[in-house]
Amino acid sequence: MMVAGLVAVAALAGVSQAERLDIRPIEAPEKGRYGLLGFEIRAAWMDGFLQMRTPETLTSSMGLHFIDHDRPDMRPLSWLRPWPKWSRDDRTGALTYAVRTAEGVEFRARAVPGRGRIEMEFRVRNRSSTRVRNVGNQMCLVMTGSGDFGDRNTLARTWVFRDGRPFDLTSATPTPKDKGREPWVLMLTTAGVKGYGGPRDYADGWWVVDQVADVPLIARTSADGRHLVAISWDGGPLYVMTNARIPCLHAGPTNVYDLEPGKECVWRGAIWLMANDPRRLREAYERGWGRGGQR
């Protein structure tokens, strides 16, 4: 599947600038303040924009290397100085950045826009002199800025593939009414049924629903029913998630790596913004776009 990923990126490189989705770096925060590190996504037909937080958090056995928002119980080991600056490849439209933390963990991201699809890559390299364990991250696709996808506090039009067919999360149980709070749900994947050993409920936060998703892909249909947005990451994610209070979509990655000094790991993902055609989306997913691994 690594070859499939390279072929997909090569295909995106052949798309003309006019055909590509529009991706732009999120503006850097003021010095010494938290802020989103990622990119905005626009389509010609779309009202507003989406934001891909790349990443939302980055952690390892050392601790918390990066977080893009202020939480008293989650303080990063160091501040990013200077703030990463995205660069653009004029030929492919790709955006990339690279940054190294004070504790010696280097991370970099790449996003390549195409016709209705964005290929993503996130890499971490251990530049320290000691082994680093459990390197993992959280990625978040935010829909708040889009009139097409940004409806809050509802699971309406948010769906996964279950038993080979689209399954709307409004039918998932327990329901928000059952839980007595606004929807923030995790649905295990077939891999997650075997591998997830975490809690089923987080007080006043998320809960795990009873149903299981065929594949680690989650989508939302636009308000007019004509388009969809979907996201997936490699590495066999254990669950997909939506926090409708924002609203946002998560589809991994959930796998972690141990890195010896000088070693690197990589995760790959994809975002689709396309006509509302679940069959075509499933076919695109099944064709594959690469798999993560350690070098």
CA 259/CA 267 separation, integer angstroms: 14
Q: Report the candidate in 192, 35, 57 with the shortest Cα–Cα distance to residue 124.
A: 57
For residue 130, the 8-state DSSP code is S
Mean pLDDT value of segment 103-116: 97
pLDDT band of 47, cuts 50, 70, 90: very high
**Per-residue pLDDT reduced to its tens digit, 202-239:** 988 999 999 999 999 999 999 999 999 999 999 999 99
What does the pLDDT read at residue 19? 82
What does the pLDDT read at residue 85? 97
Mean pLDDT value of segment 37-44: 98
**Per-residue pLDDT reduced to its tens digit, 137-160:** 999 999 999 999 999 999 999 999
pLDDT band of 1, cuts 50, 70, 90: very low
Task: For Cα atoms 41, 59, 69, give the angle at the middle one, nearest 5 degrees.
Answer: 50
Residue 33 has pLDDT above 50, yes or no: yes
Residue 13 has pLDDT above 80, yes or no: no
Cβ distance 189 to 237 under 8 Å? yes
What are the respective helix, strand and coil percentages of the chain, to the nearest 5?
Answer: 10, 40, 45
Q: Report the candidate in 150, 225, 218, 224 with the shortest Cα–Cα distance to residue 185.
A: 218
Cβ distance 56 to 140 under 8 Å? yes
pLDDT band of 6, cuts 50, 70, 90: very low
Cβ distance 92 to 115 under 8 Å? no
CA dist list (Å): 140 to 7, 16, 60:
25, 28, 18
pLDDT band of 16, cuts 50, 70, 90: low
What does the pLDDT read at residue 289? 57
Mean pLDDT value of segment 183-196: 96
Q: Considering the chain, what percentage of its residues have pLDDT values greater than 70?
A: 92
pLDDT band of 11, cuts 50, 70, 90: low
The number of CA neighbours under 13 Å toward the Cβ of 141 is 31
May I ask the CATH class of domain 2-294? mainly beta
What does the pLDDT read at residue 107? 98
What does the pLDDT read at residue 157? 98
What does the pLDDT read at residue 143? 98
**Per-residue pLDDT reduced to its tens digit, 238-272:** 999 999 999 999 999 999 999 999 999 999 999 99
What does the pLDDT read at residue 249? 98
What average pLDDT does the structure give for the chain?
A: 93
Residue 2 has pLDDT above 80, yes or no: no
| Domain extent listing, the chain | 2-294
What does the pLDDT read at residue 288? 77
What is the value of pTM for the model shown? 0.92
